[in-house]
Amino acid sequence: MKFNLNLKKMIFINAILTFILCFLTHFLYTWIPNPIFSIFFPVNESIWEHMKMIYTTILIYGIIEVFIMKKFNIKFNNLLISIFIKAVICIPIDLLIYLPILKIFAEHMIVTFIILFIAILISNIIGYFILKSNEIKYEKTISIIGIILVYIIMIILTYKPLKYDLFYDRTEQKYGINIYEPRK
C-alpha cells in the first residue's frame, strides 16, 4: 500500500510535527547554554522567549518539510516565504489567543499546549495558501532578509528586554538572559 501525501495532508502533519519539535527546542538552551543557542531558543520562561521558540521551531521544521515534499513529489511554489510567514504569523496568533485566556483563567499547561497547537495549525493553513499561490518574485531574497531581521530583533530583546510582562520570567524573576529583577 502506497502512502499518498499532498499539500492538504501536509497542513496537519506539519502542525503535529512542529508541535512535537517545540518540546525539544524549548529545552535546548537549558541543556547547552551558549551565546549561539541564546539567539534561537528560550533562555527563560517568559512569554517572549516562548515566541522565539515557536519562530525557530517552525524554521527548523521547514528544513524537514522540504525533504518530505521532495520525497513525495509534492508540487509547490514559494516554499521559503511560506515557512517565513508561518513562523512570523504564528507569534501574533498564539499571543492573540493566549494572552486573554491567561488574564482571565491564569496559566494551565494543557490549555497552553492546545493554544500552541491551534496557532501552529492556523499558520500552516496560511502557509498552504502561500504554497498554492503563484510564484512570488524575489521570495527567497525577501525571506532571507526577513528571517535575519527577526533574529536581530530577537537578539536585542533577549539581551536588552523591555520591562513589560511579556518579557518577564516569573519563575526565575528575571528579564532576558541574565537580568534578575524582582517585580514591583
Q: Per-residue pLDDT for 132 more than 60?
A: yes
* Structural domain range at position 67: 7-180
Residue 2 lies in a domain: no
pTM, to two decimals:
0.90
Residues 21-34 have pLDDT tens digits of: 999 999 999 999 88
- Domain count for the chain, please give it: 1
pLDDT per position as a tens digit, 134-145: 999 999 999 999
Intra-chain end-to-end CA distance of the chain, in Å: 62
Please check whether residue 95 lies inside any domain of the structure.
yes
